[in-house]
Amino acid sequence: MGSTMDKVKGEANKAVGKTKQALGEATGSDKMRAEGEVQEAKGHVQKGVGEAKDAVKKGVDKV
């Protein structure tokens, strides 16, 4: 997967995770809230992977 796609999917996972957390809090569902926290964390990691790929590519392009 390319760096841009990683960053886009990461942002999407973060947004869905935040939505799940809010829904879990609104309905009193600890399970939904926890799933949201996990998905948001996954999004942060995925976005970080995309940024790391960009950094590596920029470093290689300089050589």
Question: What is the spatial distance between Cα 19 and Cα 3, in angstroms, rounded to a whole number?
Answer: 24
In this predicted structure, what is the pLDDT of residue 47? 96
Structural domains of the chain, count:
1
Annotate 31-61 with DSSP letters as a single string: HHHHHHHHHHHHHHHHHHHHHHHHHHHHHHH
Structure confidence by residue, pLDDT tens digits, 13-46: 999 999 999 999 999 999 999 999 999 999 999 9
Contact indicator for 51, 3 with CB cutoff of 8 Å = yes
In this predicted structure, what is the pLDDT of residue 28? 98
In this predicted structure, what is the pLDDT of residue 60? 83
Range of the domain at 48: 3-62
